[in-house]
């Protein structure tokens, strides 16, 4: 399903709003704080992310454009790489 965003709206903010609406009635589902950035191309960052939630399954939510274009997905699978993460893909 495509969600064309309003003209002039920041794509990041648009996606964040869609996610907030989608999880509004879900228990124990949260967005990771923006002031603690995680680089999905950096296995150490992904390890830190998972270690921050030792008793939870962490899912990465990205747009299809990220999967197609991000260098992290073009690299080979390695320990703690994005390829070892549970992921949900959104098509915009």
Give the Cα separation of 39 and 25 in Å (integer): 28
Total domains in the fold of the chain: 1
Q: Is the CB of residue 5 less than 8 Å from the CB of residue 14?
A: yes
5 part of a folded domain: no
33 part of a folded domain: yes
2 Cβ contact partners less than 8 Å away, ≥ 6 residues apart: 91, 92
Domain region containing 62: 11-90
1 part of a folded domain: no
Alpha carbon separation from 60 to 8, 16, 90 (Å, rounded): 26, 13, 11
Q: pLDDT tens-digit profile of 31-65?
A: 888 888 999 999 999 999 999 999 988 888 888 88
**Looking at residue 21, what is its pLDDT?**
92
3 part of a folded domain: no
60 part of a folded domain: yes
As a whole number, mean pLDDT of residues 4-22 equals: 78
As a whole number, mean pLDDT of residues 68-88 equals: 86
């Amino acid at each position: 399903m495509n969600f064309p965003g309003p003209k002039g709206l920041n794509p990041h903010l648009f996606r964040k709003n869609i996610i907030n609406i989608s999880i509004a009635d879900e228990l124990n589902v949260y967005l990771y704080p923006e002031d603690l950035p995680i680089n999905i191309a950096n296995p150490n960052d992904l390890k830190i992310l998972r270690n921050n939630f030792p008793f939870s399954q962490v899912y990465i939510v990205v747009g299809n454009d990220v999967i197609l274009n991000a260098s992290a997905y073009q690299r080979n699978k390695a320990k703690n790489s994005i390829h070892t993460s549970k992921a949900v893909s959104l098509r915009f």
